[in-house]
Amino acid sequence: MTLRIIFMGTPDYAAPTLQALYDAGHEIVAVYSQPPRPAGRRGLELTPSPVQRLAESLGLPVFTPTSLKGADKQAEFAALGADAAVVVAYGLLLPSAILEAPRLGAWNGHASLLPRWRGAAPIQRAIMAGDAETGVMIMKMDIGLDTGPVALTERVALSDTVTAGELHDQLSELTARLMVEAMARLERGDLTPAPQPEAGVTYAAKIAKSETRVDFARPAREVHNHVRGLSPQPGAWFELDLNGRPERVKLLATGDVTPDATGAAPGTVLDDRLLIACGEGAIRLLMLQKAGGKPMAAVDFLRGTPVPVGTVIG
């Protein structure tokens, strides 16, 4: 026996879960994804989401509404007669009528250890905060923001070098595996969610452009976490004086965090291998990218762009 499932997801992160449910033999009666977005240099081409592209390659029907608040969209959803809805990084608010339509409810794969990091950017926020662990939880959805009871959990230790991109890929595959297990248990009737703890609630707000600039006045460890939490996208950045004018340089990797005080002003270049003074200690820049260029190791960057000791960046 298999379940009739409506899958709801949009980005790369969600695609492995759709593929895994399909491979597990469930009947995917419909896929909901956000509408195609402008792309290309001029923004003239409408590009389907990764989930839509996968669904179409599998021959599955796809819906791309801009909202699910209307009675007509809700009736259309209910008419699909789904046993369950599976939601992974969909990106649209789900009204109670949508959540209640599937016979066995709506189930979300969330990339954090709830109630920590509810919201849009749990992967980035966990790394930026220097968390020692994170994970994936399968939650039965309610009308709140990631407040529903949790049915399955798997924890993941975080090294002090892992980037948001690397963690994204790891948790994406973990979400797929855990959701397949959740649906199998739901089908058997032995999936029992438990309420989230009331203590420890934090929110993972969407990353704002204003917070992507590196602040070398912060302690070196915080700068390191900030950089890896934004790598590779959207990418932390600083300004460097090139040819008499400040230009933005992305900073994709750092290392050799030195906790000792340097006595130099934050942002000062301390050696010929891009060791930079911070508010506390210093940090070495390892991977950089000029605007319009490719990511390159610091040694290669310095060949074409000398940065003398004593230069102040930021």
Indicate the annotated binding residues for (6S)-5,6,7,8-tetrahydrofolate. Answer: 112-115
H-state helical runs in the chain: 15-23, 50-57, 71-78, 96-100, 122-128, 164-188, 220-229, 298-304
Pairwise CA distance, residues 239 & 229, whole Å: 19
Pair 262, 284: CB distance under 8 Å: no
Q: Which CA distances in Å does 149 have to 22, 43, 84?
A: 25, 41, 16
Task: Name the DSSP class of 303.
Answer: H
- Cβ within 8 Å of residue 155, ≥6 positions away: 113, 133, 134, 135
Sign (positive or negative) of CA dihedral 205, 210, 212, 214: negative
Can the peptide bond before residue 219 be classed as cis, meaning omega within 30 degrees of 0? Answer: no
Pair 268, 278: CB distance under 8 Å: no
| Annotated binding residues | 112-115
Pair 171, 126: CB distance under 8 Å: no
Pair 21, 183: CB distance under 8 Å: yes
Task: List the structure tokens of 162.
Answer: 């892992």
Task: List the structure tokens of 96.
Answer: 């109670």
Q: Which SS3 state, helix, strand or coil, does residue 12 take?
A: helix
Task: List the structure tokens of 198.
Answer: 């009331």
Query: What is the number of other CB atoms lying within 10 angstroms of the CB of residue 176?
Result: 24
Pair 53, 47: CB distance under 8 Å: no
Residue 9 forms beta bridges with which residues?
88
